[in-house]
Structure 1
């Protein structure tokens, strides 16, 4: 497929996003609009738009490509990722009925201000800093995935350097989110989720048609194949895909990466009532589970198509390239445009949302915008614009660094990093919500560094001798160790009056 055609699509796509940004921010572009959309968002709008944010380009490319990968000496992954999705669904329910009531009761703009109320100033700053680091790295990984595809299939044609490709993407995202912030993103999320969902279903149709199958025939072929195997019950110690590892990991990765993450929670806090926020989460959860099933079906069809057309996956370098290779070089112009539509929508929906959340967290948690007499002061708006630009530059540097060192598929890399970075955040919130104990606030920053360091050394030097392989449940171990260290260093309990004010 011609790189010029793909580039033309991207130009039109961004023109639409810029148009949306103009119309959503032309009347008001203050900090209240940017941070929480004036708390006027409709729950059904947010629920649908969150799909694109939660799935991202990782789900769009890495999850389908990964089903044919096989750990050393073991069977291919098949649909085992769905075990993790089931854990995600349980995690979303916990967020809706445990965390959201807490956030709404305290009327939070940044969810990390809870830690200041419950644990202390340094705990609060530690939690906010963990988010800034975690979300910057995670979002950079996600954008990296689409950037390498754009580079390989479009910009390499004109010998444009990778860093220029990434910088151009981030600049465009900064331009259309800079004024309207969350208010703009809630609208662009609808467009991007629509493109993502259409791309999934149309990809299934085009690949089935290319194989000479109807949709029902394709679904039957997938059902009868080994790819449809979901549950892994064997080898609890040595297989990272064991059911309990995936399920437990899915629950706590979701609680940490969604419920304790300013990005997706910022959207929930943009609604008027807790009831609307909970309806949003439950609707979103149902759609999320169904869409992931179809992504796995896309993966099975990719491998069927590769086998039928002599495509050697080893020649591609990594399974992340399988979907773009087939869509852009084998299926024709329309399927190629559909693929690029879905990939671009999924990835930029995640990145624009993350940049807004990072800016919100830094402005509220470190520049104390929420404590200013007039948070919409023009000077503060200019300061927010600078912060927004600075995070774009930081993300650019992280992506370039990751491009140099990456060996894993992106989906594996993201959850591996999240297990270490979000683990202490999980421990902090769990300690605050589940116990009445105080923390030694001065020690909290050191505990948040020590816990993941000890777990990393354990996985590197001890666990290999036991035969135990850590999977998605890595975040649980980091959270538990953080919780234990907070407990051991606790100076005592809150009195009843103090507990009532923060429970």
Structure 2
């Protein structure tokens, strides 16, 4: 490591960064720390700030480290093939902007899973909320786990600090700047962190270019003439994990479920005054996201080209390439911007995830609402104080849960974090995809309970549990059963289809017709 960028120096940089975040938190939450501010920022968030912040939340530490590392690692997402997924995102964002956002705003939802209660029933509502909690807990833990590994390797480990302390410190810092303001604070901190993250990637490209003694046009030529420049993969057929059509369709589905059906991402959209602003946010965010991903893929290609030029051995875990080059081979300034970018990438995703988990549990399982005013001043004040205490307790509970899951991950080695994340999402988001698709595209009512003899079975719950298990088995044996075909990210579609078919089997076709419109007071 550069002598001027010691572990102590890096810790100082991190401390200064978090001092800024906590200062932002203080100014954004000092007047409002009630449920209305925590859940939806009083529905007053400015859409340009939300658009900037959502870029960082979407990219996260996974994109910051794993996408550049995957460029030259071979297999899924090799070279620039990940852009095929990113182009699929655009189709997904279009569906969110034109179908989901108008629906959520029309119903005035705080938690998007309240829609399931009105359209299908209370069991589907709880199942949908549960799968979000499970999905987001896994996703946020994966992302923080990745960053904690890097910090442990290059910063806290050399100082003799145990991995558990590294993880606990990271989560406590998130809690400190989110526990009061919630989404109101995160709109501002995520915008700041997105700027830091993109600036870090851009400056790293600049420093790599300096090391290679070339300018921007020279770097473009290097990438185009290298083995890493291929973007579209058509020739391999459906057995190729990088096949364009598989990647494009997967990108669209991933976007719909991991943004449009995800309380974390939709909570930011619902914090704006109206759905027109939310649509502007989605349009801006989706376009900028394309260029942001191109930047990270270009960075990955340049890192591999640089490693070949200087004879650097590629780490066995491709996720380690970026930190190895930035912290041990480039000038100290490159290491500083890498640390800032890494922390910003991790926390722009994790902070909103923790807030969304808290919001969903409070609204969907504890019955809290954004506004609770009856006109009785003393009773309202007492209830607001009691709800704030409960919310803080839930916030602490999910912080502990994230710590526990990350420590469990530490017992399992994983060198392709981005692929593991999306595969996990395929299993846990699949039932959500099936539930929402059934609600949006059919007019059928579902019998959530089925009586067999003297017993009533929670049939809908069983369907939503069986679909991910069957998907996991089919995905595991697909090569043998389907002549070499691998689902890849398309396991998400298969999972959702199984859920949809299960709901059809539970439908009451005798009452076929247009369902009653959802109640406007559902939120």
TM-score interval, normalised by the smaller of the two chains = over 0.9
Secondary structure of the 1:404 match is coil
The residue number in structure 2 matching 1:484 is: 501
The residue number in structure 2 matching 1:344 is: 343
Secondary structure of the 2:228 match is helix
**CA distance 1:208–1:439, change in 2 (3 Å):** same
Pairwise CA distance, 1:27? 1.1
Question: 1:392 and 1:494 mapped to 2: Cα distance?
Answer: 45
Question: 2:67 and 2:477 mapped to 1: Cα distance?
Answer: 29
Q: Does 1:428 align with 2:435?
A: yes
User: Out of 34, 38, 43, which is 1:34 matched to?
Assistant: 38
What does residue range 455-494 of structure 1 map to in structure 2 within 5 Å? 455-465=471-481, 466-492=483-509
Pairwise CA distance, 1:226? 2.4
Pairwise CA distance, 1:469? 1.2
Pairwise CA distance, 1:495? 6.3
Alignment check: 8 A CA contact 1:132 1:358 kept = yes
What does residue range 148-163 of structure 1 map to in structure 2 within 5 Å? 148-163=149-164
Q: Does 1:187 align with 2:188?
A: yes
1:437-492: per-residue Cα shift (whole Å, max 9, x none)? 11122311111110111111112235434211121111011001111111122123
The residue number in structure 1 matching 2:128 is: 127
The residue number in structure 2 matching 1:244 is: 245
TM-score normalized by the length of structure 1: 0.96
Q: Does 1:353 align with 2:352?
A: yes
Alignment check: 8 A CA contact 2:24 2:189 kept = yes
Alignment check: 8 A CA contact 1:118 1:502 kept = no
Question: 1:126 and 1:492 mapped to 2: Cα distance?
Answer: 23
Pairwise CA distance, 1:497? 6.2
The residue number in structure 1 matching 2:466 is: 450
Secondary structure of the 2:235 match is coil
**CA distance 1:371–1:35, change in 2 (3 Å):** closer
**CA distance 1:497–1:475, change in 2 (3 Å):** closer
Pairwise CA distance, 1:373? 4.3
What does residue range 97-116 of structure 1 map to in structure 2 within 5 Å? 97-116=98-117
Alignment check: 8 A CA contact 2:35 2:370 kept = no
1:148-175: per-residue Cα shift (whole Å, max 9, x none)? 0000000111121111100000001001
**CA distance 1:106–1:300, change in 2 (3 Å):** same
Pairwise CA distance, 1:408? 3.6
Secondary structure of the 1:475 match is helix
The residue number in structure 2 matching 1:18 is: 22
Question: 1:386 and 1:420 mapped to 2: Cα distance?
Answer: 29
Alignment check: 8 A CA contact 2:467 2:499 kept = yes
Question: 2:512 and 2:240 mapped to 1: Cα distance?
Answer: 46
The residue number in structure 1 matching 2:413 is: 406
The residue number in structure 1 matching 2:146 is: 145
Secondary structure of the 2:40 match is helix
Alignment check: 8 A CA contact 1:436 1:494 kept = no
Q: Does 1:386 align with 2:393?
A: yes
Alignment check: 8 A CA contact 1:437 1:493 kept = no
Secondary structure of the 2:410 match is helix
The residue number in structure 2 matching 1:59 is: 63
The residue number in structure 2 matching 1:377 is: 384
Q: Does 1:328 align with 2:332?
A: no
More deviation, 459-468/272-281: 459-468
TM-score normalized by the length of structure 2: 0.93
Question: 1:118 and 1:257 mapped to 2: Cα distance?
Answer: 21
> Which runs of 5 or more structure 2 residues have no equivalent in the other structure?
374-379, 450-458
Secondary structure of the 1:37 match is helix
Pairwise CA distance, 1:370? 2.1
Secondary structure of the 2:135 match is helix
The residue number in structure 2 matching 1:219 is: 220
> Which runs of 5 or more structure 1 residues have no equivalent in the other structure?
none
Question: 2:335 and 2:210 mapped to 1: Cα distance?
Answer: 14
The residue number in structure 1 matching 2:234 is: 233
Pairwise CA distance, 1:426? 0.4
Secondary structure of the 2:393 match is helix
The residue number in structure 1 matching 2:455 is: none
Question: 2:473 and 2:512 mapped to 1: Cα distance?
Answer: 38
Question: 2:478 and 2:37 mapped to 1: Cα distance?
Answer: 50
What does residue range 176-325 of structure 1 map to in structure 2 within 5 Å? 176-313=177-314, 316-325=315-324
